[in-house]
Amino acid sequence: MLDPRLIRASLSDVVTQLEKRGFKLDSAGLEALELKRKAHQVETEALQNERNNKSRNIGKAKAAGEDIQPLLAEVAGLSEKLDAAKNALQQVQQEMDEILLGIPNLPHESVPAGRNENDNVEVRRWGEPREFDFKIRDHVDLGAHQQWMDFETASKLTGSRFVVLRKQMAKLHRALIQFMLDMHTIEHGYDEVYVPYIVNRESLRGTGQLPKFEEDLFCVDAEQGYYLIPTAEVPVTNLLRDEIVDAAQLPLKFVAHTPCFRSEAGSYGKDTRGLIRQHQFEKIELVQLVKPDDAWPALEVLTAHAETVLQKLELPYRVMALCAGDMGFSSAKTYDLEVWLPGQQTYREISSCSCFTDFQARRMRARWRNPDTGKPELLNTLNGSALAVGRALVAVVENYQQVDGSIVVPKALQSYMGGVELLQA
RNA sequence: GGAGAGCUGGCUGAGUGGUCGAAAGCGGCGGUCUUGAAAACCGUUGACUCGAAAGGGUCCGGGGGUUCGAAUCCCUCGCUCUCCGCCA
């Protein structure tokens, strides 16, 4: 959520910045609503003040043993007026909230202009795509061996966009998880957390998935408002919802391994082959909660932490700065890491690292006590995948394939594979 | 699943219809004393929101109700704890 005071104070500026990401804000409607809100609020509070005073006087008169009948007559009809004013105010406020919760974050000034992924800007590149002297196979073909990746059985168990991993492939998948968790906890100083995979609506509103993107989620209990998490970002960031932390505790750095569940509504026919776009996948997520002044440097560092995983796995990648039109709803700036996939002869997204400024923190009321002012102030939140495990598995399998279909285990993973150096075809 | 007890400020905890945003203690902050520190003593210390300010309003788990007036009474939902049952 944007700061309502910022919207009030510099509406035209906000409108311009939102246009950069292709969002049209109805400023006239908002201004009109704001005037209504103000009028109703002033009226309501004046009536409340009157009621409070008169009721207090009744109490005093009663205590003094005076006749309170005349005073009671005075307040007659007041409560109806107050109720009416309250209702009017509530209605306007609800309308207002609906609009405010639907406004995306303002893009940072360094975010490139543009409307879609074609306008994203490459920031840097690491590693050289390997030259193959044989016909390259993609991960689906390579995974067919010994049913390493078994999509048919998964579709029997559930439906499309699921997979069963078997034998060494299942173990390689697990090795990737352990490797990434160890790296971030031991080398990058993140605190490992284990969190619920089902969250309530408040949490989803906090990070920005609700109310606008409900169709992307799997609801497991509509009555309770329980949803499967689409990313660990939701439970982990919401750890600080409604909290005020000491400055000395900052920055907070969390890493979590969780499955992620996405309905992929609206992506019918897209990436239907293989492991790229599944309803269920594993992800290692980095989350940071920092002082506002530290947010932008933190985004660079967090992105570098994600990059380290690819470097240790010796997988070629590039870093893309997303253009304003391609960024997620809550993000002020996003870097995507794209890994080279020989099977597709292209770079594909494997990580997304974002700074949300105070956008999520305001929705969550996640705050810190600023020693300079002594007052609670909003935190800034960041997160990034480091990495998406399924896609990392795809990248390893395709980049490390041999002519006979066997897969070399990257050096960094060998100790996690019990010393195995090759998945034998 | 059954029975019971709770939910109050950063924490512990008092408060059963009126000047209660709320005692007290702890913690925090400032000061006195001290070479410095500790102890002791004194003072201070909730959040949100409207307003240029003066000053208002809201918040005692969430929502609703009764009342001129609710932390306090009623309903409902959520959560926590204890005991019993079941269980990875």
Q: Which residues of A are catalytic?
A: 262, 277, 349, 352, 391
pLDDT recorded at residue A78: 87
pLDDT recorded at residue A371: 83
Task: Let me know: does A2 contact A21? Beta carbons within 8 Å.
Answer: no
Extended strands (E) in A266-400: 280-290, 317-321, 333-341, 346-355, 367-370, 375-378, 380-388
pLDDT recorded at residue A172: 98
Judged by C1' against the alpha carbon of A371, the nearest nucleotide is B29
pLDDT recorded at residue A343: 94
Judged by C1' against the alpha carbon of A61, the nearest nucleotide is B18
Q: Which residue's CA shows the smallest distance to C1' of B77? A: A224
Cis status, amide bond into A204, omega within 30 of 0: no
Residue A128, beta-bridge partner list: none
Protein residues bordering strand B (Cβ below 7 A):
A 4-5, 38, 41-42, 44-46, 48-49, 51-56, 58-60, 62-63, 72, 75, 78-79, 244, 367, 374-376
CA distance A365 to A199: 17
Whole-prediction pTM: 0.93
Judged by C1' against the alpha carbon of A78, the nearest nucleotide is B68
Q: Which positions on chain B have an atom < 7 Å from some protein CB?
A: 10, 18-19, 47-48, 50-51, 56-58, 68-69
Count of CB atoms within 10 A of residue A352's CB?
23
- The CA–C1' separation of A370 and B38, in angstroms, is 28
CA distance A7 to A13: 8
- Token couple for A293: 């002044």
Helices then strands (H, E): number in chain A? 14, 18
Judged by C1' against the alpha carbon of A45, the nearest nucleotide is B57
Q: Going residue by residue through chain A (425 aa), what tens digit of pLDDT does each one get?
A: 899 888 888 889 999 999 999 999 998 989 899 999 999 999 999 999 999 999 988 988 888 888 888 888 888 888 888 988 988 898 898 888 889 999 999 999 999 999 999 999 999 999 999 999 999 999 999 999 999 999 999 999 999 999 999 999 999 999 999 999 999 999 999 999 999 999 999 999 999 998 889 999 999 988 888 999 999 999 999 999 988 888 888 899 999 999 999 999 888 888 889 999 999 999 999 999 999 999 999 999 999 999 999 999 999 999 999 999 999 999 999 999 999 999 999 999 999 999 999 999 999 999 988 888 778 889 999 999 999 999 999 999 999 999 999 999 999 999 999 999 999 98
